[in-house]
Each structure stands twice: as C-alpha cells, then as structure tokens.
Amino acid sequence: MTVLGIPLDASFFVLMAAVAVAGIVRGFSGFGTGMIVGPVGAMTFGPKVAIVILLVIDSLPMIPLIVGAVKKVKLRELAPVAVGYALLMPLGIWFLKTGDTDTLRWFMSAVIFVAVALLWSGWYYHGPRNVPVRLAVGGISGFLGSAAAIAGPPVILYWMALRTGAGFVRANLIIFFAITSVISATGLFLADLVTRQAVTQGALYAPVYLAGLMIGARLFGFSSEATYKRIALTIVAAAAILTLPALDGLRP
C-alpha cells in the first residue's frame, strides 16, 4: 500500500514512531528532535533522506511554539549563533553529500554519544561569552546540523551554562531552530538534496510530530529542568544505541 507514492512499509512506521516520540521530547525540553529522528531516519532511509524529512517535520508545526518563545528569547545571545550556523552550514552539507551512508551513520552516532555524555555529566561551557565565541558555537552547530542533523548539542551546552532556567534555554532553542531551518532548507535545495519523495514523506509525518509537540508542551512546567533533561537524554541515547550500524545484522 502506498500514499502519495510513499510505501507504507515497516520502515515508514518505525520512523513515524520515532517522529512522535521526538515531538513529545522537543515539546517539553526544547531539543532532541534531530538526535532521535536523525539516527532512526538514517537507519531506515539513509542520512540524506533523513535530513530532508527532519527539516520538513520541524518547520511549520513549530509555529505554535514560536509564538510563545519569542517573548522570552534573548536576541543578543541568539543572533551571533545563528550567523555562525549559516557560515559553516555549507561545509556540513558538503560532508553529507560526499560521505557514504555507513560513515555518516557512525559519525552521527558518535556525535550523539559525546553530546549525551557531556549533557548528562552536567558539564557546560564556562569560558568567555563574547561574539566570537557565539559565532564559533553557531559554526559547530551549523556543521553538525547539516552533516548529521544534530545542531542542538553545541548551543545547549553553551546556553545552559547561563543557569537562567529551562524557560530561557527552551525559548532560545525554539527560535534558533526556526531560523536555522530556513538556512538549512536553502542550503539543501542548492545542493540538490531536496527530493519530492523526502518532502512528501516529511509532510505525512508532520501531523504526528505536531501532535507530539502539543503533548510535550502541555507537559512542560509539571516537573523540574533536571527531570526533563534526564528523560530527553535517556530517549536520545536509546535511539542512538538501537540504530548503531553494527547492529544492522541483528534487525529483521
């Protein structure tokens, strides 16, 4: 059975389940979508398709969250990071376009494991907080986001060190990802990585992601920042482990 030319097979529904979980996690924590959908999508449909699907599902459904986040965002922190993202995003797209599937999947998994370890350990950036540093943080995020769909960890580690509460970090991340989605879409299109099938598949997943976002957003405020972080990181780590290329032979 197919819908709009997309086969509704086991791989389709595996990624749909991951999208739903990612939406819930993103709704209450402000991050996690790429680190969940990225490895699952790369396992089922390949990294190049996964990044386009991720871009589609993480665009329009974010509008309801953007409206509330705008009131809390700090442009002085956000603007240089977004500029840095745009500067190094083309390098990440080159890596994505030229790398083979297994290399990209292992790279994605390695980045996720390092990010989870750092976030779980409680380590955050404690160095200078000037414009060059913000540009560098954005640049690293731009490379990782366009190469492996994992733009979040660098900015999370940077902003959480401010210790201004989950609300600020969540708001900045929501607006940051909204801005960088436009930047990434432009880069992927110019690199001829945007296909009709990937966009259509992303559109089919978008309502599921939106439902997850709404559920997660309602959960926000019912617990502490530490609890949200532990839940999100546990789910992210599980997704990365279960999709390791080394386990491909054990999956049906």
Mean pLDDT (whole number) for 9-24: 92
According to the model, what pLDDT value does residue 18 have? 94
What total of structural domains would you count in the chain? 1
Written as one letter, the residue type at 200 is T
CA-CA distance, 169 to 119, in Å (whole number)?
14
CA-CA distance, 130 to 54, in Å (whole number)?
31
CA-CA distance, 226 to 122, in Å (whole number)?
10
* Structure confidence by residue, pLDDT tens digits, 137-146: 999 999 998 9
Q: How confident is the model at residue 165 (pLDDT cuts 50, 70, 90)?
A: low
According to the model, what pLDDT value does residue 123 have? 79
* Structure confidence by residue, pLDDT tens digits, 166-219: 567 778 888 888 888 889 999 999 999 999 999 999 999 999 998 998 898 888
CA atoms in the 13 A half-sphere facing the CB of 40 = 26
Residue 169's nearest CA partner among 182, 159, 157 is 159
CA-CA distance, 152 to 123, in Å (whole number)?
15
How many helices (H) does the chain have, and how many strands (E)? 11, 2
Q: Provide, rounded to the nearest whole percent, the portion of the chain with pLDDT above 70.
A: 94
Rg (C-alpha) for the chain, rounded Å, is 17
CA-CA distance, 174 to 7, in Å (whole number)?
32
CB atoms within 10 A of CB 245: 17
Judge if pTM exceeds 0.75.
Answer: yes
Tokens of 149: 């769909």
Domain extent at residue 34: 2-250
CA-CA distance, 105 to 96, in Å (whole number)?
10
Q: How confident is the model at residue 248 (pLDDT cuts 50, 70, 90)?
A: confident
* Structure confidence by residue, pLDDT tens digits, 77-133: 889 999 999 999 999 999 999 988 899 999 999 999 998 888 888 777 788 889 999
